[in-house]
Chains A and B, each alone.
Chain A
């Protein structure tokens, strides 16, 4: 009995081992693609074409965008990942931080794609994906209630007041509350932003735009609308569309993913650019976020060159992109696609002419929750400036940067040893830290120095990353200071001009 049992076990085990060997055998001509549920059927239809034309076998695995992003980093390193996957552009930052995606040659795609589409997938100057869709929100206007598109948010408010007063409609304009993405066109129109930009185009995560003048101005406009009853709180997509359909809201904000839903409301509508300026006579600065989806090559793939060739020769072509558009309906990033089947696509694309790419850097994760909360508080009638300022503090805390409130200004130089520091040219010595008592951005430091010739400059936050010299020039040259006798010297630094002066050279 035991011998028989042993034989049976071995037979079963052998059979199963053979089975696994089959799956472990890797095909050199196969590309594994992770696609979401809308793109999977399209790719499966095209797989036969790809096999005959290019000789590449496509293995398509259905996986949602969010799952793909999480799974790539887990499955990839153990060889179970895809060669190509579909990704939303704002996951790129996290992929790059994990070395998970392969840079592509942008010049191969430049001529055939919208520059803004390629920009969405460009990170640190390198292109990491081939976009197929680029989308942004727009203003959906009930033409019967509002015959002409407003050009400023002031005008939007006036329209709302008039409609409410005349009783024609309950609200002139309704936007999803507590939703940073849909409210961003308002933020940007007043000059607000999320992260500032450095000179080289990268994001400066220490510069949080919600606390900027423009950001606070947009918060005040929103607060005014809520407090005066011109906009209701507690609005989500469903509420916005219901109010629009019922004629209770004359203008709403939504994107091309609801293109059919707009048609279904039965309202006589027009899709317009969002008002780009805050004040009635303001400069045109505003824009919605643009987001995109595209194909990226996994850095864990054994077939990176083959994947790149597939993307260049087959994916970046009219038949493929046309098939994707016909079945998915998202505005295409590929230039040569016939979009006549969806009447709204052209209008959404026009509304995105100024669109700003949604930042794809990993720090964005900290922004959404705090910013959404601030908008919810504003919709509940809380003070807008306080709400946005709190949000900035929360974000700064979450991404662990020093906010501008904690700006440490020091005066390093050859005078420091004489002033009592451990050594010269030490930006972190607190004996030579300046102070700004009244918070007006003008810092002072008064110390007594013995006679001698000194050189100094100003440095921020205890390091050399941000320092200014003569004429407020970054990394500028030292400022000379000559003392014939022991003198009490007062240094004055103005943060708006970055110029530091002393009471000996510039007596006042």
Chain B
């Protein structure tokens, strides 16, 4: 104890920390390390390599920063750095990765390994071949050996007779001659398992094979056991195929699209029976009365003089090869598929869906018109409106906020604190609630604002029915939501302007207008400029207000995709990516996100270079 205490004092004197702070810091680091270790192990075990590695890097970085004395200043940024790595940098890389895959919820969510496991484990991986019998089953357990189980099987056959059988594991099935299929309490040393006692045995019997040799029984469901139940899907890792021995179709794993696609089926004609079989499988296809096989989409008939199968529909002939095998193309895929890297297909799809290059081939139009026409009509409209919406939002909220801030800065206003508190309210209310209330107030039938305006102008007023009024409504509601923020920052920035500048201006004879435009505003914009840019970018992607207030309405008539006049890029894109038949198309959405990011980043950079001029003005004052 003494030695440790003196060591602590040595450390204390060298680093200047108190003992308590030191102990607390290391203790915190221990817990962080332990927690991170558990999480990283779990992530790597479940296959989330990316996130696991990211977290490991972040934790190692945290340790390095804590223990190397020269990196001490970084300690204060440590929590921020870790969070940025995990929640900002990693999602960016993951989104970019996803944009190059076919990740969607229409059967491409799982990795290939997960998909193969799922397919082979599913109910569809087993089947009861033609002629199999289905029974109701009851579990029996051997008295002498509790691990030995058997099934009591009952069914009523087509003639109405009761068939009863008893099938132990690993022993031959006994067919019993009984009129009543009710399972007895005991049978040949086995006891019937009832009620809650069955439950622990369920997982055992689920995949158990009863009987032995060729005569086996397997449980197909809660009410049926099949005699026999046969494994149907067989995966061959070398050839990367799954063979279905019931249909004879072999599926190839096509890694370019992430699906298991059927190969042509190799059929052999049997003279004696008139059936088609697939060698090496249990598949047998029987023709109908007129000799036509109807299982392959188009009808086919075996005609020896044509040398194989002939389709009276398409007149196609599938000839027998040297071994007598006819390769009939079939068009089947297994469910589900899996996610694969598909390169830039999502990006080209974004371009194809939204960019009509034929527009450039039309003559008699200038380049700008061709460029505008190249976009789907509505995409261009939405693009322009998104910029206008973001700009107008910033413009209106800034001037409103500045106006309030200037007034409230003046000492002569009575009740300033109360007024200021009231004005902050829109900022304090959760956005969605405010928007929904506005939606109610603007409803053309019952909303108080709309009915009042209707009374004034003398006819019904439905703001959300026309593009212009709907857009004005959106701007007004966004103004209501956004001005308190601008008021606060302008208030702070105004107070940061030194008052001796104003005195100097007064001496030089500047008018109030000059004072505002030439002194206040430029100095204000130096501080507030970046915040205006941030506000512009925020409103560019302000999905919430559009979705909650108008849902994009009013709709654009004749648009190629569902779109409305108040839709901004992000709400239009959301519908494209998540409202299609493929459910959630994450790959497509990621590709669009990246494109929008580059557009937004480009605009931001331009704006920033422009506002840098304000900084220069500030420096010269």
Q: What's the least CB distance linking B453 to chain A, in Å? A: 14
Chain A window 78-119, contacts with chain B (Cβ cutoff 8 Å), 1 for yes, 0 for no: 110000000000000010111110111101100000000000
Interface assignment of A362: CB less than 8 Å from any CB of chain B: yes
Chain B residues, Cβ within 8 Å of A97: 106-107, 335-336
Q: A465: which B residues are within 8 A, CB to CB?
A: 297
The verdict on A406 contacting chain B, using a C-beta distance below 8 Å, is: no
B579 CB contacts on chain A under 8 angstroms: 365-366, 368-369, 398
A373 to B465: give the CA distance in the assembly, Å. 12
Q: Which of A182-190, A280-288, A304-312 contacts B (4 or more CB under 8 A)?
A: A304-312
A61–B477 alpha-carbon span in the complex (Å): 39
Docked complex: B515-558 residues within 8 A CB-CB of A: 553-555, 557-558
Contact B444 A233 (CB under 8 A): yes
- B553/A55 in contact, CB under 8 A: no
Chain A residue at minimum C-beta to C-beta distance from B10: A1
**CB distance B196 to A54 under 8 Å?**
yes
**B328 at interface, CB cutoff 8 A:** no
Residues in A whose Cβ lies below 8 Å from that of B298: 464, 475
Q: How far is the CA of A311 from the CA of B223 in the complex (A)?
A: 12
User: Does A507 touch B at the CB level, under 8 Å?
Assistant: no
> From residue 7 to 49 of chain A, which have CB atoms closer than 8 A to chain B?
8-9, 12-13, 15-17, 20, 28-29
Cα of A28 to Cα of B202 in the assembled complex, Å: 9
Cβ–Cβ < 8 Å partners of A358 in chain B: none
B203–A302 CB distance below 8 A: yes
Q: Which residue of A lies closest to B460 (CB)?
A: A232
Which B110-147 residues sit within 8 Å CB-CB of chain A?
110-111, 114-115, 118-119, 121-123
- Complex Cα distance, B316 from A427, in Å, reads 11
B273 at the interface (CB under 8 A from A): no
Residue A382 CB within 8 A of the other chain: yes
Q: Are A16 and B315 in contact (CB under 8 A)?
A: no
> What is the minimal beta-carbon distance from A340 to any residue of chain B, in angstroms?
32
B312 touches A475 (CB 8 A): yes
Q: How far is the CA of A467 from the CA of B297 in the complex (A)?
A: 12
Q: Once the chains bind, are B581 and A366 in contact (CB under 8 Å)?
A: yes
Tell whether A425 is near chain B: CB-to-CB under 8 Å.
Answer: yes
- The answer on a CB contact under 8 Å between A242 and B313 is no
Neighbouring B residues of A178 by C-beta, 8 Å: 553
Question: By the criterion CB–CB under 8 Å, are A239 and B445 in contact?
Answer: yes
Which of B27-35, B277-285, B403-411, B612-620 contacts the other chain?
Answer: B27-35
Q: Interface-forming stretch among A69-77, A258-266, A325-333?
A: A69-77
Chain B residues positioned under 8 Å from A368 (CB to CB): 579
A436 within 8 A of B: no
Q: How far is the CA of A234 from the CA of B42 in the complex (A)?
A: 51
Which of B11, B336, B465 touches A99 (beta carbons < 8 Å)?
A: B336
Residue of B109, B198, B584 with highest tally of chain A CB at under 10 A: B109
With a cutoff of 8 Å between Cβ atoms, the chain A residues found around residue B87 in the complex are none
Kindly specify which of A159-167, A267-275, A389-397, A494-502 makes contact with the partner chain. Answer: A389-397
Which residue from chain B places its CB closest to the CB of A52 in the assembled complex?
Answer: B196
Binds A, one of B242-250, B383-391, B495-503, B560-568: B560-568
Sort chain A's interface into a size bin: 35 or more
Encode B200-225 as 1/0 by CB contact (under 8 A) with A. Answer: 10110110000000000001011110
Q: Please name all residues of chain A whose beta carbon is closer than 8 Å to the beta carbon of B223 when the two chains form the complex.
A: 105, 107-108, 312
The reply to whether A12 and B31 form a contact with Cβ atoms under 8 Å apart is yes
Select B583's contact among A94, A108, A242, A397, beta carbons within 8 Å.
A94
B458 within 8 A of A: no
- A380 CB contact (under 8 Å) in B31, B114, B206, B465: B465
Q: CA of A384 to CA of B570 in the docked complex: distance in angstroms?
A: 29
CA of A361 to CA of B580, assembled, Å: 12
B69 part of interface (Cβ distance < 8 Å): no
* Closest A residue, CB atoms, query B224: A105
**Please, which residue of chain A has its CB at the minimum distance from the CB of B465?**
A380
Compute how far the CA of A354 lies from the CA of B445 in the bound complex, rounded to whole angstroms.
Answer: 33
Instruction: List residues of chain A with CB within 8 A of the CB of B200.
Output: 28-29, 55
Pairwise interchain contact B580-A366, C-beta atoms closer than 8 A:
yes
Inside 8 A of B335's CB, which chain A residues have their CB? 96-99
Q: Flag if A233 contacts B199 (CB, 8 Å).
A: no
Question: Is B581's CB under 8 angstroms from A308's CB?
Answer: no
Q: Is A254 positioned at the interface, with any CB of B under 8 Å from its CB?
A: no
Instruction: Give the CA-CA distance A412 to B298 in the complex, in Å.
Output: 16
Q: Which residues on A sit within 8 Å (CB–CB) of B26? A: 5
Q: Is B4 an interface residue (CB 8 A)?
A: yes
A246 to chain B, nearest CB (A): 9
Known contacts A17-B38, A306-B199, A308-B221: does B559 contact A1 (CB below 8 Å)?
Answer: no
Q: Which of B4, B46, B446 has the most CB of A within 10 A?
A: B446
How far, in Å, is B71 (CB) from chain A's closest CB?
A: 18
Distance, CA A363 to CA B26, complexed state (A)? 56
Q: B7 on the interface (CB 8 Å rule)?
A: yes
Binary contact readout A231-250 vs B (1 if CB under 8 angstroms, 0 otherwise): 01111101100110000000
Q: Which of B107, B195, B221, B440 has the most C-beta atoms of chain A within 10 angstroms of its own C-beta?
A: B221
- Asked if B416 is at the interface (CB within 8 A of a chain A CB), the reply is no
Given A13-B33, A98-B336, A233-B444, CB of A1 within 8 Å of CB of B199: no
Please tell me if the beta carbons of B560 and A397 are within 8 angstroms of each other in the complex.
Answer: yes
Is A299 on the interface with B (CB-CB < 8 A)? Answer: yes
Contact present for A303 and B554 (CB under 8 Å): no
Chain B, Cβ-Cβ closest to A102: B123
Instruction: Tell me, in angstroms, the Cα distance from A502 to B15 when the chains sit together.
Output: 101
A47→B111 CA distance, assembly (Å):
35
State A303–B199 Cα separation when bound (angstroms). Answer: 11
Give every chain B residue within 8 A of A393 (Cβ-Cβ): 560
Q: Does B443 contact A (CB under 8 A)?
A: yes
Q: Which residues of A contact B72 (CB under 8 A)?
A: none
Closest to A302 in B: B203
CA distance in complex: A361, B581 (Å): 8
Say how far B440's CB is from chain A's closest CB, in angstroms: 7
Q: Does A418 contact B (CB under 8 A)?
A: no
Indicate if the CB atoms of A94 and B105 lie closer than 8 Å: yes
Our pick among A13, A361, A377, A464 for the contact of B314 (Cβ within 8 Å) is A464
A105, B559: Cβ atoms closer than 8 Å:
no
Assess the A303–B202 pair: CB atoms within 8 A.
yes
Contacts of A449 in B (CB 8 A): none
A55 touches B35 (CB 8 A): no
Q: Determine whether A192 belongs to the interface, using a CB cutoff of 8 Å to chain B.
A: no
Contacts of B562 in A (CB 8 A): 369-370, 372-373, 394, 398
B219 (CB) vs chain A CBs: closest residue: A305
B118 touches A234 (CB 8 A): no
* B33 CB contacts on chain A under 8 angstroms: 9, 12-13
A291-334 CB mask vs B (1 if < 8 Å, else 0) is 00000000110111110110110000000000000000000000
Q: Is there contact, CB below 8 Å, between A305 and B205? A: yes
Q: Which residues of A contact B238 (CB under 8 A)?
A: none
Instruction: Give me 14 other A-B pairs in contact (C-beta within 8 A), A243-B446, A464-B313, A469-B312 excluded.
Output: A12-B34, A78-B46, A94-B105, A98-B109, A102-B122, A234-B445, A234-B462, A243-B445, A306-B203, A362-B582, A386-B558, A464-B311, A475-B313, A478-B312
* A–B Cβ pairs within 8 angstroms, 9 of them: A13-B38, A96-B335, A98-B335, A369-B562, A380-B466, A394-B559, A414-B315, A467-B313, A475-B299
Q: A-contacting residues of B (Cβ < 8 Å)? A: 4, 7-8, 11, 26-27, 30-31, 33-35, 37-38, 42, 46-47, 105-107, 109-111, 114-115, 118-119, 121-123, 195-200, 202-203, 205-206, 219, 221-224, 297-299, 311-316, 335-336, 440, 443-446, 462, 464-466, 553-555, 557-564, 575, 579-584
